[in-house]
Structure 1
Amino acid sequence: MDHERRGQWLRGVLDLCVLAVLLRRESYGYELAQSLDAAGLGPIRGGTLYPVLLRLQRTGMVTAQWREGESGPARKYYRITEAGGEMLRRTAADWETFTRGVDTLLREVATR
């Protein structure tokens, strides 16, 4: 996949993807990046992920708490808030409608 194109697509949906991962369970930055990569989004660098987490925290979509590590430095754990969950559910429905339209158009391209 073209990395530049992937980056453009991610800018529009990374907030939603982060919230979707956090809906499963609370997590810290590196673990979030691994989950996003495992979901097929590719590697997400800290310089991309941490500003998203900060924005989500500032807007009340997630909370953050530092915790001592069992075998290493403290980690900042992120948890989705009720407001974040509500926003995610609303936006997921909008995303479904949007991607359905894009899929319809791209299927036409594949058949030509």
Structure 2
Amino acid sequence: MSVHNQMMKGLLDGAILGLISQGETYGYEILEKLKEKEFPEISDGSIYPVLLRLDKKGYVSTRMIKSDTGGPKRKYYSITKEGLEELKVFKEKWDLLNTGINNLMRSVDDVK
């Protein structure tokens, strides 16, 4: 797996937890919100394994709700107490990493 793919995998977990923390939502809606926020390179197939992993870790809870349009039931995701704790840790680590990377990249830009 490339460094880029590894980075995206880790960031996607935090991004999805962040979206779910804003209110109950379902997979396709999460995908659309990520695209609205200009999160790069997101496909349908990339978020469902993350949702499954977050569910198995106990960070989200799920429930099935009948579709308003008469289609199949949708699986809705809500963040759990454990998920909120994990999101807090993710945000703290992200802030530190983001500061460090930005400082490093500014120094790289100065070299040019």
Q: Same fold (TM over 0.5)?
A: yes
Name which of 24, 37, 60 aligns with 2:35: 37
* Number of the residue aligned with 2:95: 96
Percentage of matched positions with identical amino acids: 35
Equivalent position of 2:67 in the other structure: 69
Which residue number corresponds to residue 55 of structure 1? 53
**For structure 1, which runs of at least 5 residues remain unmatched after alignment?**
none
DSSP-derived class of the 2:64 partner: strand
Higher helix share: 1
- Count residues in correspondence: 109
Structure 2 Cα separation of the partners of residues 111 and 43 of structure 1: 29
RMSD of aligned Cα (Å): 1.6
Instruction: Give the TM-score normalised by structure 2.
Output: 0.89
Q: Which structure's residues are more often strand, by fraction?
A: 1
Q: In 1, distance between residues paired with 2:35 and 2:41?
A: 5
CA 1:15–1:33 in structure 2 vs 1: closer, same or farther (change >3 Å)?
same
Q: Distance between the aligned counterparts of 1:90 and 1:9, measured in 2? A: 17
Superposed CA deviations along residues 9-51 of structure 1, whole A, max 9, x for unmatched, are 3112110000000111111000000111111113522221100
Give matches, 1:77-92, under 5 Å. Answer: 77-92=76-91
